[in-house]
Structure 1
Amino acid sequence: MYYYPYYGFDLGYLLLIPAILLTLYAQGRVRSTFHKYLNVRNMRGYTGAEVARAILDRNGLKDVHIEPVGGYLTDHYDPRARVLRLSPQVYNGTSIASISVAAHEAGHAIQHGIGYVPLTLRNTIAPIASFGAQAVWFLVFAAFAFQMFALIDLGIVLYLAAVIFQVITLPVEFNASSRALEQLKVNGFITAEEISPSQKVLNAAALTYVAAMAVSIAQLLRLLLLRNRRD
């Protein structure tokens, strides 16, 4: 029995449309917000690297190194190497956006240092999630090509890890942003007037993770529909 009676059109794609639109909006929002506050110098004149180093040191993480990385908005914390990597605009930048992003990544290092449970869970399932996201559509294709529909069930199980990864990512990212804003305020890196702009940068970045979770859930629903498709 088909769940898709309209001339072979995969109605599962309709599930993706809202999630894709949210993703496009989130990407546009983070880029526009980052660009806006990339041109607003923080009043203390700190660079992103200086802020990150100070936050790490004041939280007992002097062993975490900071290094520049190429690209645009490529900032991240590598828990395996215990290295915080900052893009050129953040590493050398003295803008509100620069120090906010740097503080956010330092927040991830703090999470790792204290054994923040959601981060530990996310790092644990990351390899399975990556494999599941890459393998699922190969399994779906093979299922229909060779009439081995149990492969779809296997694909769904594997893809569940990717969905769980995205769900766990939300508290991890929101918590890192919360820590970042607190560190910026407590350590005097921003003034009272700069709190709102910094928060806008952090909130815009968080929206991209909400969109990623929406896409992964929509894909899972589409897989569940495909599971019931038969020739």
Structure 2
Amino acid sequence: MFYPYGYGFDSTFIILLPAILIAFYAQIRIKSTFNKYSEVRSLKGITAAQAARHLLNKAGLDDVPVEMVGGNLTDHYDPRTRVLRLSQSVYNSTSVAAIGVAAHEAGHAVQHDNSYWPLIFRNSLVPVANFGSNAAWLLVFLAFFTGYYGLIDIGIILFSAAVLFQIVTLPVEFNASSRAINLLESEGILYDDELVSARKVLSAAALTYIAAMLVSVAQLLRLIAIGRRRK
């Protein structure tokens, strides 16, 4: 915990508290929703990996491999290597939850192939966002250590890139989920009730991105509050 006035309670932490609670709820919801619909097998009986492969081929992305990756809910599409990776709990599963997740990642691959501009913009922000989020709080500590509080303003500017990244992430993820549901329906991979279940899983996942954005905005507001205290 960072205490700008020596030892004691940092009141600026209150700014973070609501966002942290929402993030905690979002994690509980995605895990419980995914676990619930992981028990619901799709009528078609294909695995999530097979569903992803079918959707990629349909989009003309035969050269994008579908690989298994370790961990739980670590599914992602890597635009640098053009590889779609599904977690162990998803790859071989025939559940509507797993198929929904796989279709979502396939949606990202289609976005990349179509040069979907919010995705391109978000990807361009990755280096500066990573640097900004790591450097901002270091600059705050240095500001209090050296007494040069102008470093806090620099930290605020750098952290703003991380906030922008989280904001741009929202339309990217929402669009990928929308593409996923449309593809699953048009290709007949999931049927009516199954589509409703898959949509619930993807909606729960979307909440985690909203929560991450709220946390980053709260962190930025906290930085601004700390900076104003020293002026």
> TM-score normalised to the size of structure 2?
0.96
Question: C-alpha separation between the residues in 2 aligned to 1:186 and 1:119?
Answer: 24
Question: C-alpha separation between the residues in 2 aligned to 1:36 and 1:100?
Answer: 13
Residue in 2 that maps onto 1:81: 81
Output one character per residue of 1:6-45: Cα deviation in whole Å (capped at 9) or x when no partner: 9853221111111000000000000000000111101100
Alignment of structure 1 residues 100-139 onto 2, 5 Å:
100-139=100-139
Output one character per residue of 1:79-121: Cα deviation in whole Å (capped at 9) or x when no partner: 0000000011111000011100000000000000000000000
Residue in 2 that maps onto 1:62: 62
Question: C-alpha separation between the residues in 2 aligned to 1:72 and 1:151?
Answer: 39
Aligned residues: 228
Output one character per residue of 1:172-224: Cα deviation in whole Å (capped at 9) or x when no partner: 00000000000000000011121111110010000000000000000000000
Q: Which stretches in structure 1 are left out of the alignment for 5+ residues?
A: none
Alignment of structure 1 residues 191-210 onto 2, 5 Å:
191-210=191-210
Residue in 1 that maps onto 2:186: 186
Letter in 1 for 2:55: I
1:41 aligns with 2:73: no
Output one character per residue of 1:48-102: Cα deviation in whole Å (capped at 9) or x when no partner: 0000001011011111111000000000000000000001111100001110000
Question: C-alpha separation between the residues in 2 aligned to 1:41 and 1:200?
Answer: 15
Q: 1:137 and 1:189, CA in 2 relative to 1: closer, same or farther beyond 3 A?
A: same
Q: CA RMSD for the aligned pairs?
A: 1.6
Runs of 4+ in 1 over 3 A off after TM superposition: 4-9
Residue in 2 that maps onto 1:166: 166
Give the match's secondary structure for 1:227.
Answer: helix
Question: C-alpha separation between the residues in 2 aligned to 1:179 and 1:28?
Answer: 25
- Taking only the aligned residue pairs, the percentage that are identical comes to 58
